[in-house]
Structure 1
Amino acid sequence: MHLLMIVTAVTVACWLRYSGSIPAGNWRLRWQKTLFLFLFPPLLIFMTATSIVCMGNQGKMGGMYTDSLSYLLALIFLGCFNVLGIKLAFQGWKSIKSARECPQIHLGAKQARLLETKALFAGQIGFWQPELVVSQGLLQTLSPQHLESVLAHEQGHYQYRDTFWFFLLGWMRFCTAWLPNTEPLWQELLVLRELRADNYAASQVDPLVLAESLLLVVSNNPMTSDICCAALGAGDRLEQRIEALLTPPTSTLEAQLQSWHIFLLAFLPMLTVVFHS
C-alpha cells in the first residue's frame, strides 16, 4: 500500500511537470504558475515520504499490509534530503563568512561590504538578514545616479527576502533534480526574481537609469553562487529585463499573487496516517 502511495505521488508530480507550461504576461502572472509547477511536485513527494516514515514498516493500511521496501525508500529519500540541506547550508555559511571578512563601508544611509575587485558586482549575501556586498570596481565605474539605482535593486532583493526563500527553493531543486523540467523552471524563477527586484527599484528610481545600470553591471558581473546570494546580474535574459523596465505599466487591475492555500493539497498524504493500524 505504501509503495502504491510512492508511485502515485511520483506519477502526479511528473504529470504536473510535463503538462504544465509557463504562461506569458507580466512577472506577477508568470510567478504564480512557475512557483506552483516548481514547488508543488517535490513538496507532494516529500510529504508522501514523511507520512510513510511516520506510519513505520509494520501494520495495515486499508486492509493491506505495509512493506519494508517502501519504508526503506522513504527513509533514504528523507535522509538524502536532509544531507543535501546541511551541505547547502554549510556552503552558504562559508559564503557569509567570506563576505564578512571584507571591510565595511557606508553608502549614504546604507552599510555594505566592500569586495576588492575591479569587476562590477553588487549582491545580497546571507539568509534572512543578508548583507549588501559591492565591489570596488562598481563604486569607481558607476555614477552616483547609476549607483543609486543598483542599490534600489538590491533593496528589492532584501525586501522580498530573496536570499532566504531561494535557498529553500534551491534545496528543493537539488533534491528533485530528476523531476522533469526542474532546470528550466529554476531558471525562470531566477529571472522572475530579478524582474521583481527591478520592478521594486523602478518605483524608487528612474527606470531608464536602472536599465543603463543593468547593461553596465550584467555585462561585467562574475558568476556567483545562488545558494545564498541574490545579485544584480543573476539570470541571462537581459533583454527581457530591459524591455520590462522600458515598457509602461498597464493600468488594468492585475490578479493577486497565488494563494498559498493550494499548496495545502500537498499535505494530503499526511491524512493517510490516521488510516494506519
Structure 2
Amino acid sequence: MHLMMILTALAVAWWLRSTWIGPEGNWNLRWRRSLFLFLFPPLLLFMTAIAVLCMGPQGKMGGMYTGWGSYLLALIYLGFFSILCIKHAIQGWQSVESARNCPLVNFGQRQIRLLNTGALFAGQIGFWHPELVVSQGLFQTLSSEHLESVLAHEQGHYHYRDTFWFFWLGWVRSCTAWLPNTDSLWEELLVLRELRADGYAASQVDPLLLAESLLLVVSSTPVLSEICCAALGSPGADRLEQRIEALLAPPEPISAAQLPSWHSFLLAFLPLVTVIFHT
C-alpha cells in the first residue's frame, strides 16, 4: 500500500511538471503559476515520504500489509534531500565567505564590499541579510547616474530577500532535477526575480538609464555561482531581452511575490492524512 502511495505521488508530480508550456500572462500570473508548478510536486513527494516513515515498515493500511521496501525507499529519498541541502548550504557559505574577504568600503551612505576585478559586477551575496558586492571595474566604467541605477536594482533584491528565498528554491531545483521542465521553470523564476528588481529600481531611477546599465554589465559579467547571489547581470540572452523590453514598455504593477493560494498547497499534505488509517 505504501508503494502505491509513492507511485501515485510520483505520477502526480510528473504530470504537474509536464503541464508547463512556457510563460503566459502578466507578471503576477506568471509568478504564481511557475512557483506552484515548481514547488508543489517536490512538496507532495516530501510529504508522502514523511507519511511512509511515520507509519513504519510494519502493520496494515487499507487491509493490505506494509513492508520494508517502501519504507527504505522513503528513507533513501529523504536522505538524498538532506545530503543535497547540506551540499547546497556549503556552496552558499563558500560564496558568502568569498564576499567577506573583499574589503568593506563606504560609498555615500552605503557600505559595500569592493571586488578587485576589472569585470563589471554588482550583486547581493548572502542569506537573509546579504551584503552588496561591487567590482572596481564597475566604479571605473559607469557614470554616477548609471551606477546609481545599478545600486537601486540591487536594493530591490535586498528588499525582497531574493538571496534567501532563491537559496531554498535552488535546493528544490537540485532535488527535482529529474522531473520534467525543472530547468525551464527555474529560468522562468530567475527572469521574474530580475523583472521584479528592475521594477523596484525603475520606481526610483530613470528606466532608460537602468536599461543602458544592464546592457553594459551583462556583456562583461563574470559567471558566478547563483547560490546566495542576486546580481544585476545574470547571464542569459532570453532574460536580457525580456528585461530590456519590460523597462522600455509602460510600467506594469509588480507586487511582492505571493505564494499561490494556500488551499492549493494544502493538497500536498494529504499523504499525512493516511497515517490515521495505518494500524
Q: Same fold (TM over 0.5)?
A: yes
Q: Which amino acid aligns with 1:47?
A: M
Query: 1:220-271 CA deviation, whole Å, 9 max, x = no partner?
Result: 10111111111111141211100001101358xxx97633342121111111
Is the CA contact (8 Å cut-off) linking 2:35 and 2:260 kept in structure 1?
no
* Aligned counterpart, 2:135: 135
Structure 1 stretch displaced more, 72-81 or 15-24: 15-24
Q: Tell me the residue number matched to 1:185.
A: 185
**Could you state the TM-score of these two structures normalised by the residue count of structure 2?**
0.95
For these two proteins, the number of residue pairs brought into alignment is 275
CA distance in structure 2 between the partners assigned to 1:138 and 1:260 by the alignment: 42
Aligned-partner Cα distance in 1 for 2:234–2:179: 23
Residue aligning to 1:62: 62
* Unmatched tracts of structure 1, length 5 or more: none
- The CA RMSD over aligned residues, in Å, is 1.7
Q: What is the Cα deviation at residue 84 of structure 1? A: 0.6
2:113–2:133 Cα contact (<8 Å) kept: yes
Q: Paired residue for 1:244?
A: 246
Whole-angstrom CA distance in 2 between matches of 1:163 and 1:256: 16
Equivalent pair of 1:190/1:235 in contact (CA under 8 Å): no
Other structure's SS at 2:243 match: helix
Shift of 1:159: 0.9
For residues 141 and 23 of structure 1, the distance between their equivalents in structure 2, rounded to whole angstroms, comes to 35
Q: Is the 8 A contact 1:191 1:235 kept in 2?
A: no
Q: Residues 254-265 of structure 1 correspond to what in structure 2 (within 5 A)?
A: 258-265=260-267
Instruction: For residue 106 of structure 1, report the CA deviation from its aligned partner.
Output: 1.5
- How is 1:102-181 mapped onto 2 (pairs within 5 angstroms)? 102-181=102-181
Determine the C-alpha separation between the residues in 2 that align with 1:23 and 1:230: 21
Q: Distance in 2 between matches of 1:263 and 1:276?
A: 24
Out of 191-200 and 21-30, give the one that drifted further.
21-30
List per-residue Cα deviations over 1:18-43 (Å, max 9, x = no partner): 12333423322211111111111111
CA distance in 2, matches of 1:231, 1:35: 21
Match of 1:218 in 2: 218
Quick check: 2:23–2:188 contact (8 Å CA) kept in 1?
no
* Residues 35-93 of structure 1, C-alpha deviations (whole Å, 9 max, x = no match): 11111111111111111111111111111111111100100000010011001101111
For 1:175 and 1:262, how far apart are their aligned partners in 2? 21
Match among 271, 275, 278 for residue 276 of structure 1: 278
Would you identify which runs of 4 or more consecutive aligned residues in structure 1 move more than 4 Å?
Answer: none
Which letter maps to 2:248? L
- Is this contact kept in 1: 2:199–2:251, CA < 8 A? no
- What is the one-letter code of the residue matched to 1:271? V
Given that residues 194 and 235 in structure 1 are in contact (C-alpha distance below 8 angstroms), is that contact kept between their aligned partners in structure 2? Answer: no
Identity of aligned residues (%): 73
- 1:80 aligns to what? 80
Question: What is aligned with 1:229?
Answer: 229
CA distance in 2, matches of 1:128, 1:4: 40
